[in-house]
A and B are shown apart, each in its own frame.
Chain A
């Protein structure tokens, strides 16, 4: 058992899945942290990224990795369009966070349904897939498909870049300030509206990129997003709502739980353990893994 738990293959599987979960969670966390918007259409943005990658590859025969900046801009544009159309006015009213959360939940539910059905109308709901970087590389007992290596490398690079951006750049510090305390950030001169626009753009761009990476390894269809929305919420709640670093750690933790739960117990136990762990995390550490419990 110990030998199989230390298997490089399981570690690789957990790393790929964890990096993708962390990336998906990061996008949701940025949007929630800065604006308290509960984006339950998050997985649908990922689906749009996956479809963009599929059509890019189908029409140009070029690697979707080349199109990552383009797809990121596309994702950001969707985020900005939704921001101006649905949320800017509400956020300007400085409503209570719980009101914003409730309204955004309903609005994003509508966005989710519309996104899925418009995609199905445009492209039909037929599953789509393409073959890219599918060579298998073997190093001793470890086997890795090219597209899974690419997904891991891209996701980890992006996560590191985002952490550096948030820690070292003025804009990143402003985003963190807004996440920590909206009013205090405004008082010290943070341009809240500008930061919100940047945060939603980055959040949606990162999610569209995650969709592109997933499209290389999975089939794509207009209704694929829901399970990733669920995964993203599990990640950011375990990591702490709005806690970027905690969310990234939680992404990897979720993947480790998923892979090793199947190995130690059984595949049937996977969902019970993950969601059981999720409920336990809410009970024991409602502030998240790295969060600090706020005093009343």
Chain B
């Protein structure tokens, strides 16, 4: 190789290295498991996509701030096959074998509860997200935190309060027999009675129900002011399509889970207008300046809207972790103290923890209004009046 060729090679190498992103620091390895297959697989992408968006944003912004040092984020993730026990085993592997620096949460309440034991055992802090059960309060505080305010014993009284405020005096309830629906039903029923709202019918149905016509005929016959359908996503679609076909004309229709999924709006369009559901976040809330940019970035990256509950919670959890790492670094004790004592600025506004629970974000409800999903309850964070 002559001198000219050598110079050419050196120049090419310089150009190539200038064109590539350079990371002076080692990556921060962040582990998690996700229900990519199995029973919960259809629900999990809205959470994992929020993680992926955050990682890409952080890396594009120069990396994760670890007490002043910028380091790229790298995910180490596994499919837990929707099995909470497997999830716990994999979190142990992430800590002991993969030697990750940080952990993100898996999907769903049972997984969170199983993983909480591992977090406690290894003293490894995890900010949870998509867990929603009164059972989370039984978890030993200190290594896991839950930003959600969608807890059944809070949802029941809040829903009853919203219905009472709206002048609703009677309801028909149908409920999936799966745990989250039943847990909500157990707190909703006494709350409605306490609020003086008459329950004209209350029926449970199995998760594999294929047609709701007989139930909806009963709902119509009951002629209540509101229908409260304690649904999971698949039966939310079934209820909505058939309630529309049979012309349910209640003043208010509440569906527990489903209407905030992007496909719900695509399936029903204007027919879904007015449907109320469970969520405590909306991009329409201007008091939360990070909310709309998150929504826009999610839509730009994935071509669909984020889930107003799961995606928002997942993104909140990484925001909290990011802000804690910026002040405390990767030391587990320092990180634990930072999360326990810190106040965090998220897409859902300010978040602080009291024990394992978010003590700031109120239990809230959103309503589909045109092509927007508006917060309608409680009034102090509402972005539009309940219609």
Considering the chains assembled together, what is the distance between the CA atoms of A12 and B214 in angstroms? 11
B44 at the interface (CB under 8 A from A): yes
Interface centre among A144, A222, A223 (most CB of B within 10 A): A223
A126-153 CB contacts (< 8 Å) to partner B: 126-131, 134, 136, 138, 143-145, 148
B76 at the interface (CB under 8 A from A): no
Q: How far is the CB of A256 from chain B (nearest CB, A)?
A: 11
Q: How far is the CB of B172 from chain A (nearest CB, A)?
A: 13
A258-279 CB contacts (< 8 Å) to partner B: 258-260, 262-263, 266-268, 270-271
Q: How far is the CB of A88 from chain B (nearest CB, A)?
A: 29
B293 at the interface (CB under 8 A from A): no
Q: Are the CB atoms of A131 and B247 closer together than 8 Å? A: no
Q: Are the CB atoms of B211 and A258 closer together than 8 Å? A: yes
Q: Are the CB atoms of B263 and A268 closer together than 8 Å? A: no
A4 at the interface (CB under 8 A from B): yes
Given A219-B237, A219-B263, does the pair A131, B214 have CB atoms closer than 8 Å?
Answer: no
Q: How far is the CB of A271 from chain B (nearest CB, A)?
A: 5
Q: Are the CB atoms of B237 and A120 closer together than 8 Å? A: no
A207 at the interface (CB under 8 A from B): no
**Chain A residue, CB-CB nearest to B241:** A217
The one of A10, A116, A136, A217 in contact with B214, judged by C-beta atoms closer than 8 angstroms, is A10
Interface centre among B44, B45, B244, B247 (most CB of A within 10 A): B45
- Which residues of chain B come closer than 8 Å to A17, judged between CB atoms? 210-211
Q: Are the CB atoms of A258 and B45 closer together than 8 Å? A: no
Given A125-B36, A131-B267, does the pair A268, B204 have CB atoms closer than 8 Å?
Answer: yes
Considering the chains assembled together, what is the distance between the CA atoms of A127 and B304 in angstroms? 11
Interface centre among A7, A129, A148, A271 (most CB of B within 10 A): A129
- Which residues of chain B come closer than 8 Å to A63, judged between CB atoms? none
Considering the chains assembled together, what is the distance between the CA atoms of A54 and B358 in angstroms? 39
Considering the chains assembled together, what is the distance between the CA atoms of A9 and B60 in angstroms? 56
The one of B42, B246, B271 in contact with A126, judged by C-beta atoms closer than 8 angstroms, is B42
Q: Are the CB atoms of B266 and A130 closer together than 8 Å? A: yes
Q: Are the CB atoms of B214 and A262 closer together than 8 Å? A: yes
A186 at the interface (CB under 8 A from B): no
Given A124-B45, A136-B245, A219-B237, does the pair A10, B217 have CB atoms closer than 8 Å?
Answer: yes
The one of B44, B203, B238 in contact with A125, judged by C-beta atoms closer than 8 angstroms, is B44
Q: Are the CB atoms of B37 and A120 closer together than 8 Å? A: yes
Q: Are the CB atoms of B213 and A13 closer together than 8 Å? A: yes
Q: Are the CB atoms of B45 and A259 closer together than 8 Å? A: no
Q: Are the CB atoms of B205 and A270 closer together than 8 Å? A: yes
Interface bits B266-282 vs A (CB < 8 Å: 1, else 0):
11110100000000000
Q: Are the CB atoms of B204 and A9 closer together than 8 Å? A: no
Considering the chains assembled together, what is the distance between the CA atoms of A145 and B217 in angstroms? 16
Q: Are the CB atoms of A126 and B211 closer together than 8 Å? A: no
Considering the chains assembled together, what is the distance between the CA atoms of A268 and B206 in angstroms? 6
Q: How far is the CB of B122 from chain A (nearest CB, A)?
A: 30
**Chain B residue, CB-CB nearest to A144:** B245
- Which residues of chain B come closer than 8 Å to A129, judged between CB atoms? 237, 263-264, 266-267
Q: Are the CB atoms of B245 and A148 closer together than 8 Å? A: yes
- Which residues of chain B come closer than 8 Å to A136, judged between CB atoms? 244-245, 247
Q: Are the CB atoms of B267 and A130 closer together than 8 Å? A: yes
Given A144-B245, A268-B177, does the pair A219, B217 have CB atoms closer than 8 Å?
Answer: no
Considering the chains assembled together, what is the distance between the CA atoms of A4 and B44 in angstroms? 40
Considering the chains assembled together, what is the distance between the CA atoms of A223 and B208 in angstroms? 13
B95 at the interface (CB under 8 A from A): no
A104 at the interface (CB under 8 A from B): no
Q: Are the CB atoms of B41 and A120 closer together than 8 Å? A: yes
B234 at the interface (CB under 8 A from A): yes
Considering the chains assembled together, what is the distance between the CA atoms of A217 and B37 in angstroms? 24
Given A126-B42, A127-B261, A131-B269, does the pair A262, B215 have CB atoms closer than 8 Å?
Answer: yes
Q: Are the CB atoms of A259 and B44 closer together than 8 Å? A: no
B117 at the interface (CB under 8 A from A): no
B181 at the interface (CB under 8 A from A): no
Q: Are the CB atoms of A270 and B209 closer together than 8 Å? A: yes
Q: Are the CB atoms of B209 and A223 closer together than 8 Å? A: no
B46 at the interface (CB under 8 A from A): yes
B233 at the interface (CB under 8 A from A): yes
B262 at the interface (CB under 8 A from A): yes
Considering the chains assembled together, what is the distance between the CA atoms of A116 and B247 in angstroms? 35
Q: Are the CB atoms of B213 and A126 closer together than 8 Å? A: no
**Chain B residue, CB-CB nearest to A267:** B205
- Which residues of chain B come closer than 8 Å to A222, judged between CB atoms? 41-42
- Which residues of chain B come closer than 8 Å to A138, judged between CB atoms? 247
Q: Are the CB atoms of A126 and B304 closer together than 8 Å? A: yes
Considering the chains assembled together, what is the distance between the CA atoms of A10 and B39 in angstroms? 31
Interface bits A210-222 vs B (CB < 8 Å: 1, else 0):
0000000111011
A167 at the interface (CB under 8 A from B): no
Q: Are the CB atoms of B45 and A268 closer together than 8 Å? A: no
Considering the chains assembled together, what is the distance between the CA atoms of A71 and B264 in angstroms? 24
Q: Are the CB atoms of A145 and B263 closer together than 8 Å? A: no
- Which residues of chain A come closer than 8 Å to B174, judged between CB atoms? 267
- Which residues of chain B come closer than 8 Å to A218, judged between CB atoms? 234, 237-238, 241
Q: Are the CB atoms of B203 and A267 closer together than 8 Å? A: yes
Considering the chains assembled together, what is the distance between the CA atoms of A128 and B210 in angstroms? 18
Given contacts A130-B266, A221-B41, could you give 16 more A-B pairs where the C-beta distance is less than 8 Å? A7-B217, A13-B211, A113-B37, A117-B37, A125-B36, A126-B45, A126-B46, A128-B266, A134-B268, A143-B246, A218-B238, A219-B237, A219-B263, A262-B215, A263-B214, A267-B205
B contact set with A: CB distance below 8 Å: 36-39, 41-42, 44-46, 49, 174, 177, 203-206, 208-211, 213-215, 217, 233-234, 237-238, 241, 244-247, 261-264, 266-269, 271, 304
Sample of 10 A–B contacts (CB below 8 Å): A13-B213, A17-B210, A124-B45, A126-B261, A129-B263, A129-B266, A145-B245, A262-B214, A267-B209, A268-B177
A contact set with B: CB distance below 8 Å: 4, 7, 9-10, 12-13, 16-17, 113, 116-117, 120, 124-131, 134, 136, 138, 143-145, 148, 217-219, 221-224, 227, 230-231, 255, 258-260, 262-263, 266-268, 270-271
User: What are the nearest 6 A-B pairs in CB distance?
Assistant: A129-B267, A267-B205, A13-B213, A262-B214, A129-B263, A221-B42
